[in-house]
A and B are shown apart, each in its own frame.
Chain A
Amino acid sequence: MTLKISSLTPLVRFLGVVAGLIVVASCGGGSSSVTTTTPPPTVNNSVDIAVNLGPSGDYADGLFTSVQVCAPGSTTNCVTVPYVLVDTGSSGLRLLSGALGSLSLPAVTDTSGNDVQECVQFISLAYIWGPVAQADIHLSGETASSAAIHIISESPQYAAPSSCLTLGTNGAVDYNSQSALGANGILGVGNLPTDCTSSCTSVGNCTTPCTSAANGIPYYYSCPNGDCQITSVPLSGVVPNPVALFSQDNNGVLISLPTIPAGGQATASGSLIFGIGTQSNNALGSAQIYATSAGEYFTTTYNGVSYSNSFIDSGSNALYFLDYATLGINDCADAPGFYCPGSTLSYNVTNSGINGTSGSVSFNIENADNLFNTGFAAFNDLGGDSGTSPATDYFDFGIPFFFGRNVFTGIEGKTAPNGVSAPNGYWAY
């Protein structure tokens, strides 16, 4: 019964709108704004994605796509950048300066009119650094117009500021090159509407602390005297999740990758589909919604222990979970940081969202040295540690989790389907 009622709801809403229009039409004397009842035009909302070795030829479980960027308003002054990493663990488009060729884009300026630079840190403690510019981003038939994008500068105009260099000026590891990044850029299509969203108190009402330097968030800088300081950026200059700027299909993404065999496959290809429940190709179907906590986490339970800092992330190239001691697995000899069990191990865990949903997930872990020796790029059984004991451990469901699943990433501040309350965004699979 519940299902029937919910499936009727859109029809009821539609009838309501029509009834309202009839009233308007009768009041206005016949020339009603009929366009309001026309659904948005159906656009191509799907781009090809592939798991392959990437431009540097050594990336395991990296998910890539191509992105076209144009000077704002131009249809000819454009560049299509291949090998852009599809990352549901971050928000915003970041492209290597070299991948843009001769394309010239207008700079984003801070509230004092100075050009804005951005520094982004990775949990591996590497960083990327460079100017923020404006571009039209084209992904299939979808467009994010005049969007702020981050240019990863291969020859930075200014030295990265110390407040962003967490390991100090001498020890900092930068990813400002194709060989270090393993990609030509990052397409961040995660839960956050911008790369500096701190919280959404209600649907559509999110705060962006980078709009004021006084908040002291070390992301956006300007360097008027060559000395880069945290600066105040207008909201339009904060790098957005491009999907959130689309005029339709803007509430999240669906990543669809095929099932692959144990032990890996040379490559795998699938689709990145924009919108959730907005077109016939992105319906939730049997997927269950897991609403995230503030900070975009859910809880994974294994062996009776709950790990509340767990998440799903297409930008992680393995299943990073638990630790060597807890699991009794050895580190790899050739590829340190990955699990190298003597034989294939199977795990069953339970994920739960703050909306009360829960469900089990099963996966295998294979010896990573053996996997890497195949030379393949796509693995559903590649794992590594996330901590050193249950106090610090969590589950990071990276690319291996995505094979054979439809995985939805819902954007914070947008309405979730089926009336589910998900104020911080959600995943569904």
Chain B
Amino acid sequence: MKTAFGVLLILTLAAAPAAAVLGEYESSVSLDQQYLRGEDRVTTNQGYKLHQITSPNGAVVSEYVSPEGKVFAVSWRAPFIPNLQQLLGSYTAQVQQATQAQTRRRGGPLVVRTSDFVFVNGGHMGSFHGSAYVPSLLPKNVSPEVVR
């Protein structure tokens, strides 16, 4: 039993620093890359930088970085739903609240719109996609429409 607890604790500690991406600095992207075991392709666009991490299991995670070095948006497209707690960090709680509130929506997408957090998860079995962004962190002259 002691061994089992020890292993659990180590896993938790190892996972903790990585659980902060959206709204954090760009350095957290590399933690995501480790977690996803994917190849990170970086492109520079008008007003922002885009990390696109492609995993062997078919997941593609995109992380949008402002000139100030902060991750202002993330998006995903995968045969399963990736670990959103990992990608959303402190914004996870707002998504958790929404899953409890929209009880009459059945089999439909999850959409969250608050004053400073926008989240969508959609698709269907075998083909999921979604995105999230923080409006106050959007770089100047960058439209949220680039997040997809």
Contact assessment for B92 and A168 in the assembled complex, using a CB-CB cutoff below 8 Å = yes
Residues of B within 8 Å of A219, CB to CB, are 80
Within 8 A of A (CB), among B96-131: 96, 99-102, 104-111, 113, 118, 120-131
Would A163 and B125 be within 8 Å (CB), given that A315-B107, A316-B106, A388-B113 are in contact?
A: no
In the bound complex, what is the Cα–Cα distance between A196 and B57 (angstroms)? 12
CB distance from A198 to the nearest CB of B (A): 6
Instruction: Give the interface SS of chain B, mostly helix, strand, loop or mixed.
Output: mixed
Contacts of A90 in B (CB 8 A): 124-125
Please measure, in the bound complex, the distance between the C-alpha atom of A396 and the C-alpha atom of B121, giving whole angstroms. Answer: 13
> For chain B, which range describes its interface: under 10, 10 to 19, 20 to 34, or 35 or more residues?
35 or more
- CA of A192 to CA of B20, assembled, Å: 35
* Stretch of A121-129, A277-285, A341-349 with 4 or more beta carbons under 8 angstroms from chain B: A121-129
Contact B113 A123 (CB under 8 A): no
Binds B, one of A96-104, A133-141, A209-217, A413-421: A209-217
A366 CB to closest chain B CB, in angstroms? 15
**Interface residues of A, dominant DSSP:** loop
B125: nearest chain-A partner, CB-CB? A90
User: Cα distance A237–B111 when bound, in Å?
Assistant: 34
Query: Is B82 part of the binding interface, using a Cβ–Cβ cutoff of 8 Å?
Result: yes
Is B93 part of the binding interface, using a Cβ–Cβ cutoff of 8 Å?
yes
Nearest chain A CB to B46 CB, angstrom units: 16
Q: Residues 202-234 of chain A: 1 if any B CB is under 8 Å from the residue's CB, otherwise 0?
A: 000000010000011111000000110000000
Interface pair A386/B57, CB less than 8 Å apart: no
Contacts A163-B83, A166-B82, A173-B99; is A197 near B126 (CB within 8 Å)? yes
The reply to whether A309 and B100 form a contact with Cβ atoms under 8 Å apart is no
A182: Cβ under 8 A from any B Cβ: yes
What 1/0 flags go to A284-320 for Cβ under 8 Å of B? 0000000000011100000000000101010111101
CB distance from B145 to the nearest CB of A (A): 4
Nearest-Cβ distance from residue B114 to partner chain A, whole angstroms: 11
Which stretch from A56-64, A67-75, A105-113, A244-252 is at the chain B interface?
Answer: A56-64
| Proximity bits, A254-271, B CB within 8 Å = 1, else 0 | 000000000000000000
Contact B104 A60 (CB under 8 A): yes
A198 x B81 contact (CB < 8 A) = no
Q: Are B126 and A313 in contact (CB under 8 A)?
A: no
Say yes or no: B147 contacts A391, CB within 8 Å. Answer: yes
A-chain residues with CB within 8 Å of residue B144 when the two chains form the complex: 389, 391
Task: List the interface of chain A (C-beta within 8 A of B).
Answer: 58-62, 87, 89-91, 120-126, 162-163, 165-168, 171, 173, 182, 188, 190, 192, 195-198, 209, 215-219, 226-227, 295-297, 309, 311, 313, 315-318, 320, 323, 335-338, 372, 384-392, 394, 396, 398
